[in-house]
Structure 1
Amino acid sequence: MIKRPLLLLSMFLVFTAGSMTSTVSAAGKGFYDNGQTKWEYLFEEGVISEARWYSEAGELISRETYVAGQADKTEGYRLDGSVEWQVKLLEGGRQEVTRFDLEGQKTELYQTVAGQVDGVYMTFYGTGQAKQMVTYSQGVLNGPATTFFPSGQVEHEFSYSNGEVDG
């Protein structure tokens, strides 16, 4: 899907690496047929610092930030500009995924490995209070689970084994 932009980006880096300055600059851009920017890569002192993707109407759809040239965090945006989701890259190939409601409150928090949920998966009430906490192992419900009342008190505690309620 983005092979062509990455090829263009690579070519740009080869030809301009020696002329980069210490300022942030847009090093590569792709465009929709209507002329709107589709994607752009920003560099700081010759190292990629950010990548942005836009809709055909020009709204920012997602943004990826880099630390020392390595992808660090990606965010997806709603049309109103608010953050809808965020993915942080962690060690060992893990990703931390956070989803947000229209008011910016966290609604879900979980980690994935190889595209599958792995570890604790939490959902939240609109107040930010924990609503549910379940445990996954390689995409399958497996381990302790807890539901909470809006007050924060425990509602139920139970366990899953291979995707089924245990006991």
Structure 2
Amino acid sequence: MPPIDRPAVADAPAARRGRVRTPLPESFTHRLHTLQKLTDKVTQDAYLAATGLPLGEGRCLSAVGAFAPLSVKDLAQRANVDKAQASRAAQALVDKGLVEKTASATDARGVVLRFTPEGQRLWRRLMAVIEARNQQIVACLSDAERAQFDRILTRLVAHARDVAQQGG
């Protein structure tokens, strides 16, 4: 019987014993998720204090400000939330008088989201919070490290988008 082709493993004996090369707490994805959860908690508190908006609505309001006019589907993509979350947040922002929905000229079933004057004013306050939070998160890095991290993060996001578009 011919040998079975197996992927190369750097430390095959350790792999067979169930040990992995990178412990979970040191893995990139685990640390990235930990950073996200820690920053989300502080960001949620900052959004509520400055704008009265919970994190999801704040993210959607900031996306409307950056990319309007946009559909709910576009909002989901731009705010990095699923379509149901975007739909709920958009409706909450409409109910609060911050965003208006109008019928789409290109899609009979679709809507287009835009700021109201009050939404525009709150968005400006929110953007100040976002800027302060970004500065706070990277405060431990030197200017050179921030620039390098920015370049690396841009590459990682582009690569992750490419992988996602290729189906994994």
TM bracket, shorter-chain basis: under 0.3
Higher relative contact order (CA 8 A, sep 6+): 2
Q: Which has the larger radius of gyration?
A: 2
TM (norm. structure 1) is 0.22
Higher helix share: 2
